[in-house]
Amino acid sequence: MANNFAKSSHHTELNDIYTDQPSEETWLNDLMNEYGQEIIWLAYSYVRDRAIAEDLAQNAFIKCYQKREEFKNNSSIKTWIYRITINCCKDYLRSSYVKRNIPTNMKEILNRERAPSSESAYMEKDTSSTLIECVFSLGPKYREVIILHYFEELKVREIKEILQLNENTIKTRLKKAKEILRKKIDRGDF
């Protein structure tokens, strides 16, 4: 499970560092211990760049801290923090900085076809890496649902809450994304 994986060794490692913090910062520290790893992976799935993913994850936690009063206890904190992170990622991808400075990379980020990242270059011939490349080559709206459903292991109901979309829309996108992936793999695109 995603949560089990998120509760990595960082939790105990960092609890000792921030013992004398105010309660809000302790709350943030706990939140980062609980979801930090998942959030940076989620951010990475949008931008496929380690440094940018780090910045986006950090920004997401700062926003969580700033908006902590807005969090309603009747909803899941996980979906809340995921939504904030995804919004941060989408804001970044929509930002004038990205459009102005990396117009060519933008296409790569959103529609990677045959350009595996340096991190995954050595995995090119592996079948699992083929699938990963295929996933990253999907259009943003299809990649998003695949990542959330298969990587983050979220249920359609949770994805609906995070993306604020209709359940049927999510199901349709999942179905279509899988068809595209199948075709890509069958064609041997990667």
Partner 1 sequence: MENKLKNLRNDMISSELKNIKFGSKQKHNVFQQLHEKKAKRTLLPKLISVAVTLSLLFFLGTITIDHFTSEERTNSNMNTGQEEQAAAAPAGEGTYKSILQGDVGTIVENGDVIFERVADDSLPVEETDGTMGDLEFLISLSGLDHSQQFEINGEFKYAKFWIQNTGSKSITISLEDITRKDWDVIEGFTVRIPAGETWSFYSKNALSNGTYYLNFTLGRAYMSGQSAAIIAPTLADLDR
Residues of this chain that interact with partner 1 (CB under 8 A) are: 2, 5, 10, 13-14, 17-18, 25, 28-29, 32, 36-37, 39-41, 44, 50, 53-54, 57-58, 61-62, 65, 117, 119-120, 123, 126, 128-129, 131-132, 135, 146, 150-153, 178, 181-182, 185
Nearest distance from C-beta of residue 74 to partner 1, angstroms: 26
Identify which of residues 49 and 79 has a Cβ nearer to partner 1 in the complex.
49
Chain position carrying tokens 């270059």 = 121
Give the span between the Cα atoms of 138 and 141, in whole angstroms: 8
4-17 burial, b if ≥16 CB within 10 A, otherwise e?
A: eebbeeebeeeeee
Identify which of residues 20 and 103 has a Cβ nearer to partner 1 in the complex.
20
Give the span between the Cα atoms of 145 and 71, in whole angstroms: 24
Identify which of residues 53 and 163 has a Cβ nearer to partner 1 in the complex.
53
Nearest distance from C-beta of residue 156 to partner 1, angstroms: 14
H-assigned helices in the chain = 2-6, 10-15, 23-47, 50-66, 77-94, 96-101, 103-110, 127-137, 140-146, 156-163, 167-187
Chain CA centroid to CA 94, Å = 16
Nearest distance from C-beta of residue 52 to partner 1, angstroms: 11
Nearest distance from C-beta of residue 73 to partner 1, angstroms: 23
Chain position carrying tokens 């080559």 = 137
Identify which of residues 18 and 77 has a Cβ nearer to partner 1 in the complex.
18
